[in-house]
Amino acid sequence: MAVELFNDGVHKCISFSDLVKGEGVQSNQFLIVNGDEAILLDPGGQLTFTPLSLELRKLGDFDTLNYIFASHQDPDIISAIDAWITRTPAKVVASKLWARFLPHLLPAYMGDKVGERIISVNDEGLKLPFGDTELLILPAHFLHSVGNLQIFDPVSKTLFSGDMGASMVDDGPEHSVENFTDHIQYMSGFHKRYMVSNKACRLWANMIRQLDVQMMVPQHGRSFKGPEMINQFLDWISALECGVDLLTEESYTIPS
C-alpha cells in the first residue's frame, strides 16, 4: 500500500512498506515525484517487483519512471534490475563500485546497451537534477556496503538513509520512533554487525548534521521525525562500536 510521507502539490514522497511477504526481511521502497519526474529508491528483487509495479501503475508513474536509485548492491535493493530495466525507461543510479557488477544481473542480449542505462556515481556523490529541484546523492560508504549512497531530498527535507537507521520490526516508515532508548533494541544487533566501523559512522553523522534533516527514513523499519529524534540517532551511531571495531582473534577461528 502506498503511503504519502510528503506532498506539497508538486513534490511527493511515497513509501511502500508492506510488499515483502514470507521470510524476506521487511523492507521499505520509496518513490519521489516532482512534477512529471519520478525516481524509485531501492526497489528490491523479484519478491517485490510485481507488487511494487502494480502499486506504481495505480499511481500512474510506472511507464514514465526517470530513475531507479540503488543505495548499494544487496538482494533487497536492486536484484530485479533486469525487470526494471526491460520494463521501464528508467536509468539506474548506483555507485561506480557496483556499476560494472550490476550487468551480471542482466541477460546477455542486453549486451552493451546496459552502460547507457546506468549512471555511475563517483565516491563524492553528486547533485541529481530532478524536476524543479536537485536531489543530493550523498556518500555513505561502508554503511554498510563499500560503495554506499543515500539521498537527501531538500524539498521534503528527508534523508533516505538506506540501511543506516534500519530497525528489525514489521512497521514501515509511516510509523515513527517515539522513544529512542526503547527503539535501540531493534537496531543494535543489525548496526553492530552490518556497519563497518565507528569511524565511518562518526564521519557520516558529522556530514548529516550539516543538513536540515526533518525526517530520516531507512530501508527497513520505522522513520525518525524531527531534529531532536534524528540527533539522538546521530549521537547513538557516533558512539557505537561496530563491524571491525568488534573483531578479535576469535572471530577468525577455524571451525572445529
Residues 67-86, one symbol each (x = binds Fe ion by CB under 5 A, - = not), give: -------x-x----------
Neighbours of 29 (CB within 10 A): 25
Q: Does 171 bind Fe ion (CB under 5 A)?
A: no
- Please say which residue, 153 or 163, places its beta carbon nearer to Fe ion: 163
What distance in Å separates the CA atoms of residue 42 and residue 166, rounded to the nearest whole number?
14
Stretch 5-64 residues interacting with Fe ion (CB under 5 A): none
Size of the site for Fe ion (CB under 5 A): 4
User: In whole angstroms, what separates CA 12 from the centre of its chain?
Assistant: 17
Write down the least CB distance from residue 73 to Fe ion, Å: 8
DSSP β-ladder status, 11-16 and 2-7? antiparallel
Write down the least CB distance from residue 121 to Fe ion, Å: 17
- Please say which residue, 37 or 74, places its beta carbon nearer to Fe ion: 74
For Fe ion, which residue of 143, 163, 213, 215 counts as binding (CB under 5 A)? 163
User: In whole angstroms, what separates CA 247 from the centre of its chain?
Assistant: 27
- Return left, alpha or beta for 202; rule: phi > 0 is left, psi -120 to 50 is alpha, else beta: alpha
Write down the least CB distance from residue 167 to Fe ion, Å: 11
- Please say which residue, 163 or 171, places its beta carbon nearer to Fe ion: 163
In 131-228, which ranges are E strands? Answer: 133-139, 149-153, 158-162, 215-218, 224-225
Q: Which residues make up the interface to Fe ion (CB under 5 A)?
A: 74, 76, 163, 219
